[in-house]
């Protein structure tokens, strides 16, 4: 029997939710309604003028996801808090590891640490990070963070990160969620992550991604402690019960729903209420 489909809420750190009163109101409403998770995206900077593939206008408000989720950890009690996603090669791995462990501590283990390699060259250029090596850099950063979180005497030596004879506490068993739709992303999900996250996918795109994940699982060993790979998707377009059931039939475990663009506080609250009435607990 397939797992019960759960629902997350995207954009908890942007638009109207970039203001603390609205973010608090919507986060609490989502938790009370039965959403299992709140998700925050990331762009440190946005290209100006906007140009493909940038998803947002340069004037769009978007808070740092770790800061926003730390704030919301104190406003909620049960709901999971997900980064969807942190652009891993743009961050210092030890600083990020400390931030992530601190947030998971404050949230009492509710963090889902979603990461990806990024795709906006202008953003990388502004930050002084080479775009071409983002995949290899991300691999090393993941390994470095896992070392500082898990090893009694943490040590890592690579091309992009190297350290020894240091400690960083608190230590946390961080749950990693891998974003991306490349063969390398599927491999990383199989080898390192409790879950995989696909953003802006229709049913056909989701089916292709799941096939890519299955092929990666056949080629690369998955550590037993990671358990079954949890599949989360932000669907493209409107979602009703029939569409949600089709995603569930493909093997999706969680739909992370994006509210309408430019929705205000009242519209967001209505969106949350409607999902609660028509989808949550129905599938």
Residue 109's CATH number: 3.20.20.30
Cα–Cα dist 90/86, whole Å: 9
Cα–Cα dist 252/250, whole Å: 6
In the chain, count H helices and then E strands.
9, 11
Q: Please give the DSSP secondary-structure letter assigned to residue 131.
A: S
Considering the domain boundaries, does residue 1 fall inside one? no
Cα–Cα dist 243/225, whole Å: 32
Tokens linked to 170: 């608190």
What does pTM read for this prediction? Answer: 0.97
**Could you identify the residue written with the tokens 């999706």?**
252
**Could you identify the residue written with the tokens 């990020």?**
96
Considering the domain boundaries, does residue 283 fall inside one? no
Q: Would you tell me how many other CB atoms lie within 10 Å of the CB of residue 100?
A: 22
Helix axes 203-219, 183-192, angle to 10 degrees: 60
Range of the domain at 14: 6-278
Residue 162 confidence class, pLDDT cut points 50, 70, 90: very high
Considering the domain boundaries, does residue 86 fall inside one? yes
Computed over every residue of the chain, the mean pLDDT equals: 97
pLDDT digits (tens, 9 = 90+) for 16-45: 999 999 999 999 999 999 999 999 999 999
3-state secondary structure of 54: coil
Considering the domain boundaries, does residue 137 fall inside one? yes
pLDDT for 14 beyond 50? yes
Q: Which residues are CB-neighbours of 49 under 8 A, at least 6 positions away?
A: 58
3-state secondary structure of 35: coil
3-state secondary structure of 162: strand
Residue among 259, 230, 235 nearest 247 (CA): 235
DSSP 61-116: -B--HHHHHHHHHTT-SSSEEEES-EEGGGS-HHHHHHHHHHHHHHTTS-EEEEEE
Considering the domain boundaries, does residue 269 fall inside one? yes
Residue 2 confidence class, pLDDT cut points 50, 70, 90: low
Considering the domain boundaries, does residue 48 fall inside one? yes
Alpha-carbon radius of gyration of the chain? 18
Considering the domain boundaries, does residue 85 fall inside one? yes
Domain count, the chain: 1
pLDDT digits (tens, 9 = 90+) for 221-235: 999 999 999 999 999
């Amino acid at each position: 029997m397939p797992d019960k489909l759960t629902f997350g809420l995207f954009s908890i750190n942007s638009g109207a939710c970039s203001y603390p009163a609205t973010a608090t109101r919507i986060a609490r409403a989502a938790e009370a309604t039965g959403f299992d998770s709140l998700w925050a995206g990331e762009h440190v900077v946005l290209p100006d003028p906007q140009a493909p593939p940038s998803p947002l206008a340069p004037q769009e408000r978007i808070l740092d996801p770790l800061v926003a989720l730390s704030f919301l950890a104190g406003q909620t009690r049960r709901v999971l808090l997900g980064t969807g996603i942190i652009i891993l090669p743009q961050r210092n791995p030890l600083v990020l590891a400390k931030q992530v462990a601190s947030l998971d501590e404050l949230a009492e283990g509710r963090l889902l640490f979603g990461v990806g390699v990024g795709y906006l060259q202008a953003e990388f250029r502004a930050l002084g990070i080479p775009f071409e090596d983002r995949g290899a850099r991300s691999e090393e950063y993941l390994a470095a963070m896992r070392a500082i979180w898990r090893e009694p005497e943490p040590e890592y030596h690579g091309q992009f990160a190297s350290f020894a004879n240091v400690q960083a506490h608190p230590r946390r068993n961080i749950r990693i969620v891998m974003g991306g739709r490349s063969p390398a992303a599927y491999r990383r999900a199989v080898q390192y992550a409790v879950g995989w996250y696909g953003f802006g996918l229709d049913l056909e795109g989701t089916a292709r991604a799941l096939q890519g994940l299955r092929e990666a699982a056949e080629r690369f060993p998955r550590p037993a402690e990671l358990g079954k790979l949890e599949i989360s998707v932000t669907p493209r377009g409107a979602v009703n019960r029939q569409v949600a059931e089709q995603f569930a039939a493909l093997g999706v475990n969680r739909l992370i729903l994006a509210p309408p663009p430019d929705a205000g506080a009242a519209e967001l609250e209505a969106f949350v209420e409607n999902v609660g009435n028509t989808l949550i607990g129905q599938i």
